[in-house]
Amino acid sequence: TTLQIGKIITGSGANASDEFEFEIEFGNGNPAEEYDYYKDGVHLGKIKTGDTFKLKAGQNLIVRNVPEGIGYTVREVNYLDYTPETTVITGTIMVHPDINYALFKNDKQAAPTYGNLAIDKTVTGNGGDLTRSFRFTINIGNDPNQVYNYEGSKTGTLRSGDVLELAHGERIVIKNIPNGTTYNVVEDNYTSDGYTTTFTNANGEIESNTTKQANFYNHKEITPSVTTTTTLQIGKIITGSGANAS
């Protein structure tokens, strides 16, 4: 009968070249009990209680000709910085099935990467109020409870859906947003106040180690009034035989 020990790794941070160490024990721990073992189809010699071996993802260690009824314990003694599903598997060798499996599964998620979101405000035109604050609603991701720090012309914290105000020349940078997070920045409508609003990158997706730039421009022109002038002409006429032009 055969004992087959396998290794599986999962997760975005898993590396197929990583190697994991195991220790094996047979029966009651008698070191005299030793058996032929193989890895990748190659006979590596005899293995006994207390011996260690290493496996990479997808590799199997096969111990052959183990008598039925022999107990075994396999421990993963070095699983690196992975999260193991289990570190110890025990069992008893059975004839049916003739292959007894001990499968170790580890998971490793890659550390998240982050980017930033900058929001800039510009007011133009001869009617633009450079001191007025304009309201923005900022939506980030799908978690309304996630708190983000921002800095720049103002500093503080915000959650998705919060409102901030920016005046001409002001800028904030929202820091450390996870890579791939979607965002949407909406400015209130100031059309009734005579402003025309344009923007760039008001919607998008955060990229790792990059600052996404959302620019908002409010323009207001006032047409000067036109004054129309006319002329008043005053004249003098004299008549009669006694009139004197001087």
Query: pLDDT (tens digit, 9 = 90+) per residue, 24-50?
Result: 999 866 777 899 999 999 999 999 999
User: What mean pLDDT is reported for the chain?
Assistant: 93
- pLDDT score, position 17: 97
Q: Give the pLDDT confidence score for residue 226 in this predicted structure.
A: 66
27 vs 147: which has the higher pLDDT: 147
Check residue 96 and give its pLDDT: 85
> What band does 163 get if pLDDT is binned at 50, 70 and 90?
very high
**Could you tell me which residues are beta bridge partners of residue 106?**
9, 84
pLDDT by residue (tens digit) across 72-109?
999 999 999 999 999 999 999 998 888 999 999 999 99
Look at residue 59 in the predicted model and tell me its pLDDT: 97
Answer yes or no: is pLDDT of 132 > 90: yes
Taking residues 198-225, what's their average pLDDT? 95
Percent of the chain with pLDDT over 70: 98
pLDDT of residue 246: 73
- The pLDDT, as a whole number, for residue 10 is 97
Report, as an integer, the average pLDDT of 112-121.
96
Is the pLDDT at 245 greater than 80, yes or no? no
Mean pLDDT across the stretch 133-147?
Answer: 97
